[in-house]
Chains A and B, each alone.
Chain A
Amino acid sequence: MNGLSKVVPDGADTLAILQDIDVEVMPGEAVAVVGTSGSGKTTLLGLLAGLDTPTAGSVALDGHDVYSLDEDGRAALRSKLLGFVFQSFHLLPALNATENVMLPLELAGDRDAAAHAVAMLERVGLGKRLRHYPKTLSGGEQQRVALARAFVIRPKLLLADEPTGNLDAATGAAIIDLIFELNAERGTTLILVTHDEMLARRCGRLIRLSGGRIENA
């Protein structure tokens, strides 16, 4: 990220959500972004993933200048490079566990989507829950399905937005363990947004945001 800023209109005035962010993350690194509510963590994640557009600055992912691409170009880049894990899981309620994991593969035209999805679900410990729908799974299980969905496309970068925010402490810890395991196994780069200091400390590097600026990196 180079000189990344996001300013939004706020009535007659403007509000700077992010200002002048310069960060470089190396392959295989695990970085935690922490800060209080409203510090700009989620906006930073959105810009990093090419989901939002910055007011100024640029983002390069694996050598690609994200914002020189159009919306569909950024989507194509995400399909190759990025995996997502969200606080509220975002599983599709009409699809069962396997189908949820298959979806990104199917969209990319993978003919062995089902086999890959089943293998990934077995890897996250849900081999016996393959045909369960989200509403019949516990919160921890849903997040495991979401993890399987994120890792099944073998992303180079995993973006996790408060992945334990909706889980109790024990389940949350188990999910974090699993993220780090998969991360190590596959050499994925991890950027984790959280307000949980304990969790943040498990990452190799910590970026603290305050008022839209990096307090320490």
Chain B
Amino acid sequence: MLELNMLSLRMLLRDWRAGELRILAIALVVAVASVTSVGFFADRVRQSLTREAHQLLGADLVMVADHPWSEAVRDEIARRGLRLAQSVGFISMARARDQAQLVAIKAVSDGYPLRGKLRIAPGLNLPDEETDLVPPRGSVWVDERLALALALAVGDVLELGDIKLGVGAILTLEPDRGASFFNIAPRLLMHVDDVAATGLVQTGSRVWYHLLAAGQREQVEALEQWAVSGLGRGESLQSLSNARPEIRASLERAHKFIGLTALLAVVLAAVAISLATRRYIQRHLDGYAVMRCTGASQRQLCGLFAGEFGALGALAGVAGCIAGYIAQFAIAWLVAELVAVPLPQPSLLPALQGFLIGLALLLGFALPPLLRLKNVPALRVIRRDLGPPRESALAAYGAGLATIAALLVWQAGEAKLGFIVLGGFGAAFVLFGCIAFGALHALGGAAGAAGLTWRYGLANLRRRAHTNTVQILSLALGLTAILLLTFTRGDLLATWKAKIPADAPNRFIVNIQPEQRTLLFEFFRDHGLALPETYPMVRGRWVAHNGAPVDVDQYVERERRLVEREFNLSYMDAVPAHNRMIAGRGFTPQDLARGALSVEEGIARSLGWKLGDRLSWQVAGQTFSAPIVNIRKLDWDSMRVNFFVIATPRLLESAATSYITSFHLPQSEAQFANRLSQRFPNLTVVDMSVILRQAQNVMEQVIRAVQLVFLFAVGAGILVLYSALLATQDERVQEAAVMRALGASRSQVLAAQRAEFIALGLIAGLLAAAGATAIGFVIASQVFQFAYHVNHWVWAAGPLLGVMCVAVNMVAGARAALSQPPILALREV
């Protein structure tokens, strides 16, 4: 057995040296690297979330609510002997030197944070140090972004709502803000006792109240148990085991989708592996028969090949893991801004997964056809026409296809998504395959009309239709990915931007108190701006559906978040003109008298609301219920104020109301926003263009990471091309030799091959352009819901890229065909 293993290794070395296994090995390395790069990166972020859980929480247990916690809760925490701190978070405007800036305010009590340390610096770009203090009353600490935005230095004064506060330090690290994927505004840290004086926390303000607790493990666990049982709506707990669930959920989702992207490379690598194995088998049929002749048993030879390929798989798996490890640094670098936490070294788990995927590919796609070698009759040594018995492709690759299906389902994390992706891959393969096959036959058929070299080249297309179809298919898939991320992405963004009218609102004002409306209108009028339309807004919690209490646990993810928090409800006599009613009727006088609701289509679908359903709401302790009388479709891109739920006025007008509006502020009037903030310190002015830019920045970074992962797919696609070329190389070499022996010049031979390859590249490129356009169309109509304007350049870029990719093959193929005298080529083959 040992001897056989040693012989396997020697055979591996010999085959490697002779270049028989390189494509196979590289395909494996690409597949494993693709999967492990994503795996390693996700693992590092995940570990950082777990390891830094204390830091991320700033405590051992954090109780979060959208309303102030009662004294009883604080007393209970203190009674249990735990340390306690609190923080209050909200968004508002800060002003300095006639400038106003949206800031994320965190007001903290002494003792914050209970775990981890704040770090501050005495000025921008100066060395920072840890501190056990928090900003004293009358003072704020600002982060670098805010200091730059308002040109603040330590010692300057900043206005917040009704009060002035001195800048005491530059905040450089805040443990529980570490890993935020989307920081909407720069940070301002202040003392919690100053909040009331600012006058910023008013009716309609969205404020988060955090209670932080830390102590002995048992104490914390006991507190957690006690707290869980008494949690009300809008209240939640974050402990070490579920710290920052929103980050975890985003990470898992990102990992799932980028992981599926990575599997495109695996699928293409599988094609390359099966092609390379086929060539290996073709070239080893004689050797196998000779070995049988010289007395090797079937078992011995099966063991030999299994050992050789097993060792190859193991080595390629290790190399792939190393390549994946290096590539994950690139991913981390590309999304560095999104993941602002120090990442620990990854664990070995992703390596193990990648390694297993490599072995699975080998077992699924290389081993079954390889083991068919044992059916090669030894008689082949004297009868060249004998080979292994033919088997159907399904029998040979059934195991491989099952492997791919299992991998997709595993990566998707759920059967449904896995099968959707599998179906997508399958449909794309079949559709592209059929079109490519048809095109090859059509071109081959049209060859008669062409000149000699084109006729010969095009006829080859048809003759090698199966191999050529595989080449076109693989190249087209890789190119589709590239076109999608270059042309289609740009087109979608451009179409979306063009759809937003130039005078669409670009600023929102929230927190407008009822008595401020008239003053605000005057202020607009004084500045020569059109009066904005203001909408009343009331906070309300959805409590019952057709009489049945709402069960939060019934919902997951986004829906759960929607249900848990308070809704922004509005009230008006009629549905706004810019909303389109798609079901039901407008409010009738009866509705206005009895009370009725109008809801948005998307949220109705998410939460299972139907026309005629009765929804109950709790507003400031009072409960009311009303039927849904119409469903509206909103155009979110209009940038106008929109509401999920609109009630008839009588239901809500007695409740504490604030107002919201949106308006278009021309570029030249940028100072208006600053003056507005000065005049009305409590108002929050949100610059949508900044938020959109930030959202785009996040998207850009994620897309860059996806692009990097797609590079593996393109690499695998080129490998498929090359292995398909090799699969027909012996035949091409012989044909070239025969042609030259019959008097063809080198240039004629080259021209014939060039014709064939150019046709391949063109078909693949056209298919890719069609694929990218179709996907763009689906994304535009289904996801963004706008008409997609096809970029016609994609039809030029696709074929051009296709021909560029096959150019490498053209050179390699021509070199092989013409590198030796025809007689040698004829003798060898």
Contacts and interface: CB of A to CB of B under 8 A. Distances in A.
A141 interface: no
Contacts of B3: 109
Interface stretch (B291-299, B456-464, B676-684): B291-299
* Residue among A93, A94, A103 facing the most chain B CB atoms (10 A cut-off): A94
28 contacts: A42-B382, A46-B379, A49-B293, A51-B379, A51-B382, A52-B377, A71-B298, A75-B292, A75-B296, A75-B298, A78-B295, A82-B294, A86-B382, A90-B286, A90-B287, A92-B286, A93-B18, A93-B283, A94-B14, A94-B17, A94-B20, A103-B294, A106-B10, A107-B296, A107-B300, A108-B295, A135-B828, A161-B382
A180 interface: no
A95 interface: yes
Contact of A153 (B14, B294, B383, B384): B294
Contact of B287 (A82, A86, A92, A161): A92
Contacts of A161: 381-382
Contacts of B297: 72, 75-76
Given A51-B379, A71-B298, A106-B7, A84 B18 contact: no
Kindly list the 8 A-B residue pairs having the minimum CB-CB distance in the complex, ordered from nearest: A79-B295, A94-B18, A104-B294, A92-B287, A72-B297, A51-B379, A78-B295, A107-B296
Interface magnitude class on chain B: 20 to 34
Nearest to B292: A75
A107 B379 contact: no
Contacts of A107: 7, 291, 294-296, 300
Nearest to A50: B378
Q: Is the interface of B mostly helix, strand, loop or mixed?
A: helix
Contacts of A77: 295
A104 B287 CA distance: 11
Contact of A46 (B294, B298, B300, B383): B383
Contact of B382 (A46, A79, A92): A46
* Residue among B15, B289, B292, B828 facing the most chain A CB atoms (10 A cut-off): B292
A207 interface: no
A104 B10 CA distance: 14
A42 B381 CA distance: 10
Nearest to A71: B298
Given A45-B382, A84-B381, A95-B14, A78 B291 contact: no
Given A49-B293, A133-B18, 19 more contacts: A46-B383, A49-B378, A51-B292, A51-B377, A51-B378, A72-B298, A76-B297, A78-B293, A78-B294, A84-B290, A86-B381, A92-B284, A93-B283, A94-B15, A94-B17, A103-B290, A106-B10, A109-B3, A161-B381
Nearest to B827: A139
A93 B283 CA distance: 8
A93 B298 CA distance: 21
Interface in B710-739: none
A104 B7 CA distance: 11
A80 interface: yes
Contacts of B299: 72
Contacts of B294: 78-79, 82, 84, 103-104, 107, 149, 153
Interface in B12-58: 14-15, 17-18, 20
Contact of B295 (A42, A45, A90, A104): A104
Interface in B276-326: 283-284, 286-287, 289-300
B136 to A, nearest CB: 79
A98 to B, nearest CB: 11
Contacts of A139: 827
Contacts of A45: 382
Nearest to B296: A107
A90 B381 contact: yes
Contacts of B18: 93-95, 133
Contact of A84 (B283, B284, B293, B300): B293
Interface in A53-108: 71-72, 75-80, 82, 84, 86, 88, 90, 92-95, 99, 103-104, 106-108
B295 A75 contact: yes
* Residue among B298, B382, B383 facing the most chain A CB atoms (10 A cut-off): B382
B815 to A, nearest CB: 16
B348 to A, nearest CB: 34
A155 B3 CA distance: 23
A84 B646 CA distance: 92
A79 B290 CA distance: 11
* Residue among A82, A104, A133, A149 facing the most chain B CB atoms (10 A cut-off): A104
Contact of A76 (B289, B295, B382, B828): B295
A80 B297 CA distance: 13
Nearest to B7: A106
Nearest to B20: A94
